[in-house]
Chain A
Amino acid sequence: MSELELTTDRTQRIKDVLWALTFAGLVAMLLRFVFGLGATTNLDDRVPWGLWKIFNMISGAALATCGFTVGFLGHVLHLKPFDRMVKPAILVAFLGYGASLFALLFDIGLPWRFWHPFVHWNIHSFLFEVFWCVSCYFVITFLELSPTLLERLGLAKLRGVLSKAAGVFVIIGITLSSLHHTSLGSLFLVTPQRLHALWYSPIISLLFIISAIGGGLMLLALIKTLHSWWYDPSRVFGGTMVREGVVCKTCGGDSENGATPEGPDLHVVRALVTAGAWVLSVYLLLKIGDLVLRPEARAALLAGTWESVLYVVELLSAAILPVLLVLIKPVRRSPYALAVTAGLAAFGLALNRVDVGIFGYFRDAGELYFPSAIEWVITFGVLAMAGLAFFFIIENFSVFDDRWKRLADSELKFSSSFDRLTWVWNHRLMTGLERASLIALIVLPLAWITLYPPFLESTPPDTRAPLAVDAARDTLRIDANRDGLDAVFAHTAHKQRLGGEESCVNCHHLSMPADRATPCSECHRAMEAETVIFNHEQHLAWVAEDKELGGWIPENQSCVECHSGQARSAASAKACMECHREDMHAVDPANGRLAQFAATSYHSAMHNTCIPCHTENALTQNRPELDRCTTCHQFGVPEGLEENLQMRELVEVRIRRQ
């Protein structure tokens, strides 16, 4: 072991950021439950799955595959460089799955029912399988990790039992993992009509597990490199490295050659990256095969849409570049190049999952989804918590190395330094709570202020649909057939202009018995046809016949059936709909018009109400704009009509057509 002394703690700044994200995340988590999903996320009925499910859960699980792959290589096959990475791999898997499941608690609508799938089964559902495998696998990773934790915590007997069972755990873990990684892909098989053709592949489950295996190995290589960079650069970056903050005292403690240009652990990183690249090359071949065999995917790629660009970027980053880079010899020798390769592949893997789960649905949803601030903050808050747990565990347990044992022997491994944030001398690996508390004091109120959802809410436009007529509304949009060619009607302004509350009768019939707020569509039922509404004579006969009142003559008696004692008073009459709604239907054009008994078409009813008054005022007040279609139809007029057509001409056109 080379004796290194770091003058500064390289993890300090990272931990600061993680603490800040954690505290902001806690605030966001609270707000999420106080205000509900709708107010705090940008999810909606068109985009029901967003950042938390796709990025935290599906990308997260994909990146945490190293737990079972390295477990297989190291623990089952006993392959040499990988066996040393089993513990870190299990830790990454444990934290990765833990973070994913934790983030899901914020995503699902009723998180206190997270245990339901254990009790209520649907064995036909992919999500059911994913849930069972992921939660069981999370327990397995914990059991696999526990001997490492128990090494320090005591309980040697339990540790012995768990260590003995490790082989069984690994095998069960591998089975569960291969099942849920395929099923995470199969989840999207249920959306053949919705997912973009580039990503909707019949072999999506295979693509998911192969890419996850490759990308997971790459992420572990990156973490190993970073670990070395933070705590012991010589192990990966080589004995000669003397950079800011790092003083190499005695190089080559375990190497006979003295200062070696290559770190003693670089071959581990190289093995991981190379293994990852082999798997990714298989993935690349599958992807190419998938493209070649699916004509709709080829067409979509050549269409040159933003999806095809994204697809190319994703594939370059996830597979093509990492595989090509590993083929270059200097890349395999440079810890920096290896880290870049691993980082690219891990990024590409995460991007692939986001492409499948989010970007691939944009076209079908007809809208773009960008996560809200609270979604982002919870996403990164959860990851930051996992990061802090990661630092805590690797510094206090034998995961990568036995640092904690040596720290217990000799107090100082980092030399003391003045910390400008807390204004104290810090000399410990874990700087302690005062620093975190200070960050909390700054971040908590700031996050509360910036994330508080009522500040972010936008008010919906004031115009409402005029279907259930509400006389109190200022502005109505009249668009009976909802084709967008609506008329904007300033209801309140018209009411005031025409004489206040008494003026309703100017436009509204108010003639439907016992009803003051009858929608126009009540009688003017068809957009372009007349509607039979009421035949009084016939009613007299019908009522008389129905009630056995003796035919036509005793009409006074039959009146009472509708007009409750006072004949011919609208106020006292029954509403038509009380007796029958099914009798109202559009006039059959073949039978001609029933002039006195038919309501005009909705279209005519609207126009005949507005146009005469508008036309008159256009002339008398010399305001020609009142006489234009576009005065009311601000969003366009039907095809074949000019925008600035005068209303009178329109009426003439309509008359000529009829």
Chain B
Amino acid sequence: MIGMLIDVTKCVGCEKCVAACVKANGCDPAAADRDRATSPDGLSADRLTTVQPIGWDHFAKKACMHCLEPSCVSACLVGGITRSENGAVVYDPDKCIGCRYCMLACPFHVPRYEWSAKVPFMKKCELCEERLADGEIPACADACPQNAIEFGERDELLRLAHQRIGENPDGYIDHVWGEHEFGGTSVLYISDADLAELGWPSPDTESIPHLVEPVMHATPIVGGSVLASVAGVNWIVRRRMQQMHGPDASSNGHGGGEQ
């Protein structure tokens, strides 16, 4: 269960992480540069991570949060987004049909679409899957000159987060963002500025799959009962008509012909 801990107090907003991310994911640097000005939050299909300002002098890196119960995974109709064993939420472009429901489903507005491509795919941070396989740490965490991005096991990072808050209670708000929100995320934040400004909900916000999947799982019951009741009504009506008019009654008397 890997994750990242982002310390907003350390980030100076240099966007070295963005440059490293662009390079590691083979994105177009010119497009990444342009999207920084045109995208409302700085993310785009060519900028899978960005740094968002909070107020005048605070910065927070934004990318996929790698939720523990990801809404996108639950929403994707072809199962093209999965949560891998190490906790990273990864995308399989070979399955994708381009419906963009993941973009609607993500509570953090993270998935982006290659709108300008003729064969477009969804793009998002995958926690540098390939680099991890090579034994490296994600490019952004590697590049950060301020050590604002810690990479490691989520449990360790949680402990570290609480430790940092405990050691410097005046320097942080006593809250680890991502510990509980939406059922918890693998990317955690500690900060001295309130991240609610960046759209973070209250800590008791339920995970979206937890909210909707019970409804989805009721489908066979609903379908089965509709099927049974309609078939039952059909049988009763037919039987009554046969009793009243003889065996042929049910097969005529409808059809719209006007003679």
Q: A residues near B, CB below 8 A?
A: 1, 33, 35-39, 43-46, 48-49, 72, 74-78, 83-88, 108-111, 113-114, 116-117, 120-129, 131, 167, 170-172, 174-175, 178-179, 182-183, 186-187, 189-194, 205, 366-367, 398-402, 460-461, 463-465, 467-468, 477, 480-483, 521, 525-528, 581-582, 584-586, 638
Contacts and interface: CB of A to CB of B under 8 A. Distances in A.
Interface stretch (B93-101, B125-133, B187-195): B93-101
Given A125-B77, A400-B256, A38 B116 contact: yes
A192 B109 contact: no
Interface in B27-47: 29, 33-34, 36-40, 43-44
B222 interface: yes
A120 B53 contact: no
Contacts of A116: 78, 95, 97
A171 B234 contact: yes
Interface stretch (B83-91, B157-165, B172-180, B213-221): B213-221
Given A45-B43, A122-B77, A585-B145, A525 B34 contact: no
A110 B98 contact: yes
Nearest to B79: A122
Contact of A481 (B13, B29, B209, B215): B13
B219 A366 contact: no
A544 to B, nearest CB: 25
A579 to B, nearest CB: 13
A117 B97 contact: yes
A120 B95 contact: yes
B256 A585 contact: no
Given A78-B237, A116-B78, A460-B38, A521 B254 contact: no
A528 B79 contact: no
B207 to A, nearest CB: 11
Contacts of A193: 107, 199, 201
A88 B71 CA distance: 41
A36 B230 CA distance: 45
Contacts of B14: 521, 525
A84 B75 contact: no
Contact of A468 (B19, B115, B217): B19
A460 B80 contact: no
Contacts of B120: 36-38, 109-110
A84 B199 CA distance: 55
Contact of A110 (B97, B103, B213): B97
A480 B13 contact: yes
B258 A401 contact: yes
Contacts of A525: 12, 14, 145-146
Nearest to B98: A109
Given A193-B201, A467-B15, A525-B145, A402 B231 contact: no
Contact of A175 (B12, B227, B256): B227
A37 B113 CA distance: 10
Contacts of A521: 12, 14
B256 A87 contact: yes
Given A78-B241, A584-B145, A174 B226 contact: yes
B56 A481 contact: yes
Interface of B: 12-16, 18-19, 29, 33-34, 36-40, 43-44, 51-53, 55-57, 59, 71, 74-80, 95-101, 103-105, 107, 109, 112-121, 143, 145-147, 199, 201, 208-209, 211-213, 215-217, 219, 222-223, 226-227, 230-231, 233-234, 237, 241, 250, 253-259
3 closest A-B pairs by CB:
A109-B98, A38-B115, A83-B254
Q: Which of B14, B34, B56, B74 has the most CB of A within 10 A?
A: B14
A76 B234 contact: yes
A182 B212 CA distance: 13
Nearest to A85: B256
B59 A481 contact: yes
Given A36-B115, A37-B115, A38-B120, 18 more contacts: A35-B118, A36-B116, A36-B117, A46-B40, A48-B103, A75-B254, A87-B255, A125-B74, A172-B227, A178-B223, A187-B101, A189-B215, A190-B74, A194-B107, A402-B257, A467-B18, A528-B57, A581-B16
- The interface residues of chain A, by DSSP majority, are classed as loop
Contacts of B222: 178-179, 182
Given A74-B254, A467-B33, A45 B216 contact: no
A44 B254 contact: no
27 contacts: A38-B115, A38-B117, A48-B100, A78-B237, A78-B253, A84-B255, A85-B256, A108-B98, A109-B121, A110-B98, A117-B78, A122-B76, A124-B209, A128-B77, A171-B227, A175-B227, A179-B219, A186-B215, A190-B105, A399-B256, A460-B34, A460-B38, A468-B19, A481-B56, A481-B59, A482-B52, A585-B146
Given A37-B120, A528-B57, A78 B257 contact: no
Nearest to B32: A468
A39 B116 contact: yes
Contacts of A399: 256
A320 to B, nearest CB: 28
B50 to A, nearest CB: 9
A86 B252 CA distance: 13
Contacts of B97: 108-111, 113-114, 116-117
Contacts of B227: 171-172, 175
Given A38-B115, A45-B112, A108 B36 contact: no
Contacts of B112: 45
A499 B15 CA distance: 31
B146 to A, nearest CB: 6
Contacts of A183: 216, 219
B259 A45 contact: no
B237 A77 contact: yes
B214 to A, nearest CB: 10
A463 B36 CA distance: 12
B173 to A, nearest CB: 20
A623 to B, nearest CB: 30
Contacts of B39: 45
B27 to A, nearest CB: 13
A638 B254 CA distance: 77
